Amino acid sequence: MSAAPAPAPTNTPLTDAEMAELERRLDAVPAPLEPLDLMMLDGYLAGVLLQPEPVAEAQWLRHVTDADGRALPAGFDAAPLHALVRRRHAELNRAIHGRQWFDPWVFELDEDADPLETIMPWVAGFATAMEFFPKLMRNESQQVLEPLAVLYRVFDPEDLEDADELLEMIEMIEPPADLADAVEGLVTSTLLLADVSRPQSGAAKPRAGGGRRPGPGGAGRPSQRAGQPPRGKPGPRR
């Protein structure tokens, strides 16, 4: 009898096949639970990791399989799903800690789609993290406001409650030239926010609007739910 293959090390990025498996396992979460899709999951994990104090795994992991954090039914084996999510969490944590470029899980569903519409699910996932873990949002400094405006410009202004300063900042930002430009904004904003919430002495600071500009990050097929609008209102200050 042959031995079972060894599990992948937790410090290795997910392969295309593993991303497809993660998507399949998220899709298999039974109703009425509403799991995050791949794009929302990625933005959500980034938002969790940007909190000024570490969020306990038990607290953030429950929102992966249901946006509201409802419990999984008895008998549902979430261990393989959680293992894959933990690896992406660790990969993003290394990039944010080291202020290194990472490839957001953004999928181009339509070549004619507006870049901001395409990245909206990623930002909706980020906003979900801010809803449940709001410590970063309590920092109202300009260093937080500017990168936050780059992210939240994807939302309808009417969905941003009590956010006059944020809306003024959004109005001053040029729209992205293309999807690569929009994706770069996700990464640069994440790292700029990390400079505030997770400061490090001697760390290289990302340049707004500069640096590496690849095509959309991530791999594998787009999620069928990737184009859904953000759940609820992502009001930056609750």
Q: For the chain, which residues make up each domain, given as ranges?
A: 16-197
CB 37 within 8 A of CB 109: no
178: phi then psi, degrees, rounded to nearest 5: -160, -175
Q: What pTM was estimated for this model as a whole?
A: 0.83
Q: How far apart are CA 71 and CA 190, in angstroms?
A: 29
Task: Write down the pLDDT at residue 9.
Answer: 54
Per-residue 3-state assignment (H helix, E strand, C coil) for 10-42:
CCCCCCHHHHHHHHHHHHCCCCCCCCCCHHHHH
Mind listing the pLDDT tens digit for each residue in 6-28?
Answer: 455 567 899 999 999 999 999 99
pLDDT per residue as tens, the chain (238 positions)? 444 444 555 678 999 999 999 999 999 999 999 999 999 999 999 999 999 999 999 999 999 999 999 999 999 999 999 999 999 999 999 999 999 999 999 998 777 889 999 999 999 999 999 999 999 999 888 899 999 999 999 999 888 877 888 999 999 999 999 999 999 999 999 999 999 999 987 555 544 443 333 333 333 333 333 333 333 333 333 3
Task: Write down the pLDDT at residue 223.
Answer: 34
Task: Write down the pLDDT at residue 164.
Answer: 87
Task: Write down the pLDDT at residue 210.
Answer: 35
Per-residue tokens: 175: 């729209």
Task: Write down the pLDDT at residue 163.
Answer: 83
Task: Write down the pLDDT at residue 208.
Answer: 44
CATH superfamily of the domain spanning 16-197: YgfB uncharacterised protein family PF03695 (1.20.120.740)
Q: How far apart are CA 175 and CA 186, in angstroms?
A: 13
Q: How far apart are CA 65 and CA 84, in angstroms?
A: 13
Task: Write down the pLDDT at residue 120.
Answer: 96
Task: Write down the pLDDT at residue 133.
Answer: 97
Per-residue tokens: 180: 């690569």
